[in-house]
Amino acid sequence: MSFYNSNTSLTDWFEMKRLRTKSLVSDVWIPLFSVEEEQKGNLYEPGGEHNDFCVRSILVSNQDFGHVCKLKWNDVCMHYEACSWVDDEGVYVSCDEARESARKDECDRKEGEDWWIPIKGIYPVLIQTFECGEKSVWNLHQDISVALKLLRKGDVWIRPDEDDVEVVRLARNAEGKPQKIEIKNEFLKDYLCARQMGLYVLTYRARKMFFQDKPNIGWNKGCTEVKLDNGKWWGTYNETTENGFPLGEKATVIEACRTDIDPEDDVPVMDFPKDDCIQTSTKEVNVSGKNVVHMLWGELWKNELIHPGSESVRVRGDEPTKVPSFIIEASGKSVPSSELKEGGRWLWFDAEVANALLAKNRGFLVWYTLETGAIGCGQENSVHFGINDSGHITVYAKDISYLPIWIQQIWAGYNISPDGGGVARELMMSQVEAKPASTQAPEHFLPIEYKRLNASFQNKYGIPLFNITTEVEDLLVNVNRFESVSEEGFFKLAKDLAKLVCDSINWKPLQEQLENINPKWRSMKTLQEFLIQKENMTEDQVKSLMAPFYGIDDLRQTDAHIKGPDADKAMQVIGINKDFIPLFRGTAMLIQFVNTIAMINEVITKEKETGEPTPIS
């Protein structure tokens, strides 16, 4: 809602002609219940303004579609407060059951028939009120929540199976009282289709303003009514006073008292009175104010039936009629995903799809070999993928066809024609030759080796090498080569890896165990001297061992947009081929980083680990 804006004419504001014809059918959000009001200034004083918007709705079966539109605002709103009760025949009526009656048109009624058509429905929102003064509680009908698999979080109901998309939301006013609950259109129609029901929505909107002078609107005094196909509009112009009564308005006050009750009785009893036991008096009082105020009041009642959708993919499990298409041939030929279920082919994708999937709330990535793994929006919606020689992701087409449509749409946005690099070799080894590759991904070993080295320092020197903060824990889990699908991403990956070492080394506690400390030393130099003094390594040995760390630290200080000799030199120090595409450079950097951590651990423990193989040789 909003207050009147002077850029709009008073006539347009109060006659609400656009709102008379506006339909809810195409709105993204459909209101289920609403009690909204807003006020500016004081009522019955010039400049005062008050707006109302109220909604009631009922779920009705398809067989009642022809009758339900006869129900008007007053037929429904008086019954809406949630309350279970027992009818005159002793039948229990649950709080969600709507029992309404629509009056027959005279032409439809046969002689002797009842004038009323019973309509049974379901309230989608149950309003609990309390006599003790507690705020009302608005409850979404449990069947809607369960059928659509919604999870309530605060004042929103999300659907975890679709990346926590908001399906229902509850709005409150400034005092925290509920004022509107609405549902997203596509989810409502899915539910209605499964239940073979419609949603009958009744709305009431009112706008009221007060003026010192007669407003220029062209209305006559009194009430004007315009009947609509699905409701009515009323416009009212009156002159009133500051207390709400017309100028000169009088009221009759009647006073009545009993004369047959003795106040001295110890236990008085007051039976039904007789006429001669009542004493009355009347007087007339002036109730109007002194100042004339002009009032404009526009009211709009509408009712609308929201029909069910044509399919119910979420609730009933229908096969969707609209599905994404995917390119299957080098010529660019594409087919709907429903045709991919026949199997027998692979699809190609830009590697950026990995970041789009991992950006979702339940982004999931696990590595099986150096170039294969599973990725998706949650483990249950992940697919087996491989990285081919061109740096693109390949996936067995049939796997994509079984994903939920909203996830298919993500994949479709990054689908490309076969690139000449073929299907990922290691993916073919697994899916065709049934001989999975024996290679291993550095991402898998990063948290293992990192924490192992930290524990080795703790065991040997009584202090951990790294300060493992929440940020570090997050990086250990989420750092992966797909950050490096672009030049900018490659340097960002270098920054993330540098945070794990350069920014996380506990250099102050390490220095306490060293001799001849230089005050300018920080993390990298401190670790270098620690290995020299405590592990009896030469300076050249340590520099060679830690070379990838130094190179990564240099890279993070290089701007991707002005990459030049400095970046090339840093990549050479790390052991990266600068001519590789960013994705492969990122992979090589991860390999060198993890291997360096593993080799430092071998120095600290004085033996090679036998429990786990070195990740990448």
pLDDT tens-digit series, residues 71-112: 888 877 655 666 787 888 888 888 888 877 766 665 565 666
Q: Which two tokens stand for residue 80?
A: 């809406």
Task: Quote the CA–CA distance of 339 and 335 in Å, as a whole number.
Answer: 7
How confident is the model at residue 470, as a pLDDT?
95
How does 421-438 read in b/e, with b if 16+ C-beta sit within 10 Å?
A: ebbbbbbbbbbeeeeebe
Q: Provide the residue ranges of all domains of the chain, joining segments of one domain with +.
A: 10-241, 248-263+272-288, 325-431, 442-605
By C-alpha distance, which of 141, 118, 113, 122 is closest to 64? 118
Burial of 487: CB neighbours in 10 Å, binned 0-12, 13-18, 19+:
middle
**Nearest in space to 554 (alpha carbons), one of 539, 564, 540:** 564
What is the per-residue pLDDT for 113? 60
For residue 192, the 8-state DSSP code is: H
Average per-residue pLDDT in the chain?
90
Whole-angstrom CA distances from 432 to 386, 428, 436, 500 are 13, 5, 10, 38
What is residue 617's predicted lDDT score, i.e. its pLDDT? 46
Helical residues (DSSP H) of 289-367, grouped into ranges: 352-358
Beta-sheet pairing, 250-258 with 278-286: antiparallel
Residues of the chain with pLDDT under 70: 77-82, 102-116, 559-564, 607-617
At residue 135, the pLDDT reads 83
d(CA 201, CA 197): 13
Of 244, 420, 264, 412, nearest in space to 338 by CA: 412
DSSP for 415-445, please give it.
EE---SS-S-HHHHHHHTSS-------HHHH
What's residue 64's pLDDT? 84
pLDDT at 312: 96
For residue 493, give every residue at least 6 positions away whose Cβ sits within 8 Å of its Cβ, in sequence order, or none. 479, 481, 483, 484, 586, 589, 590
pLDDT at 90: 87
| Cα dihedral: 572, 573, 575, 577 (round 10) | -10
CA distances to 227, 521, 543, 591 from 601, in Å = 84, 22, 16, 16
Single-letter amino acid, residue 358: L
Q: What is the pLDDT of residue 81?
A: 67
CA distance 55 to 38: 15
